[in-house]
Amino acid sequence: MAFTYLDNNAGAGLAEGVLDAMLPYLQQQQGNPSSSHRFGRFAHSALDKARQQVANLVNADPSQVIFTSGGTEANNQAIAGVAELFHDGKVLVSAIEHPAMLEPAQRLTRHGFEFELIPVNPAGIVEADTLTDMIDDTTRLVSVMWANNETGVIQDIPTLASICKQKGVPFLCDAVQAAGKLELDFNASGVDMMTLSAHKFGGPKGIGALIVSPDLEWPSYILGGGQEDDKRSGTENVAAIVGFGAAAEYVTSHLAEYQQHCQQLREALEKRLHDIPGVTIFAEQSQRLPNTVFFALQGFDSDTMLMALDKQGFAVSSGSACGTGRQTPSHVLKAMEIDDLTALGAVRVSFSLQNTVEQVEQLATALAKEAERFNHLMNR
């Protein structure tokens, strides 16, 4: 049985050319990039190239790129700076953020800070007026993600960043799901910090970055040998960083093709979903990532549906892959005022360039058969 992978928001697999770029640094290029001999200089040169490639992905300067072990560490580093710089105050975080942002922000309450969730409307959008009203003189940081990992909803980041700029409050943006899928411009967006993760768009797992505006003085996170401009010490994972850079270059050059292809697949699946009784497509009228469909089928819980589809050769998810083992309604859907019963049935499908219209049709057929089987059992 052929297996169809449709969980690309969890991990996209290596893009073309990424493994080949990494292999020399896994096999024979053993130099430490902090060493001054030729092997070290060779490794350092590879870091410089990758830093430029990642910077090009989001239109930033290479000097603004701090390599981390992934998006989670990058979020933690950004949030931890609040406790380093201030003694009190509050942090505002959107209610639909990934746990990698919510949990470190909430942990600041142990150190005397306040933590407030910025609500979203039923379409999954942070409204500008809502954010404006929540910011006051005690606000130390605002965090809103560029695109949601479950619904795919895209926020108006330049507008939200502009509000924070006017208020003199640093703005942090988790762009983990947006990078490689949308055209991002760090400098034009007005954000102060942005986080990225390579494996969401074709790079290896375990590598990411924090992008920091030159206008923002933000403290170091991991202390030691002074690597990454003394912001994140520790010997760099050269092979993974090279893969990160290669993936960034690949998706930059294939962005238009990716968007057109995934949009076609998304529209094809949603057209078929509309023909299945009892289907709810979340945030359908919102601007969303071209590759993401988040829906629920009435009468099914997500675990049951995922297992049924897995047996038929389809790999999909129930939302964030970083919150496994928790059979609770998605906090994202709850923030959008979706009832618990519907939210517990949520299924996420996320495409890549490797997926086809034929696979979408096969998935839709499988979903329709599951719905028909359920209705038959209920009507016996």
Q: Which of 164, 173, 262, 322 is catalytic?
A: 322
Q: What are the start-end ranges of the H helices in the chain?
A: 18-27, 38-58, 71-85, 99-107, 128-134, 157-167, 186-189, 227-230, 238-253, 255-273, 302-311, 331-335, 340-343, 357-378
Parallel, antiparallel or unpaired: strands 171-174 and 139-143: parallel
CA angle, 347 then 350 then 353, to 5°? 160
Among candidates 264, 352, 359, which has minimal Cα distance to 15?
A: 352
Query: In whole angstroms, what is the distance from residue 308 CA to residue 282 CA?
Result: 21
> What is the distance of C-alpha 311 from the center of its chain?
28
Q: In a 3-state reduction of DSSP, which class is residue 159?
A: helix
What does the DSSP assignment read for 340-356?
HHHHTTEEEEE--TT--
Is 164 marked active-site? no
At a CB cut-off of 8 Å and minimum separation 6, what does 307 contact? none
What does the DSSP assignment read for 67-121?
EESSHHHHHHHHHHHHHHH-SS-EEEEETT--HHHHHHHHHGGGGT-EEEEEP--
The amino acid present at 237, given as its one-letter code, is N
Q: Are 144 and 105 in contact (CB under 8 A)?
A: no
Q: Is the dihedral of CA 161, 165, 166, 169 positive or negative?
A: positive
Beta bridge partners of 193: 172, 212
Token pair 């700029």: residue? 165
Instruction: Write out the catalytic residue numbers.
Output: 322
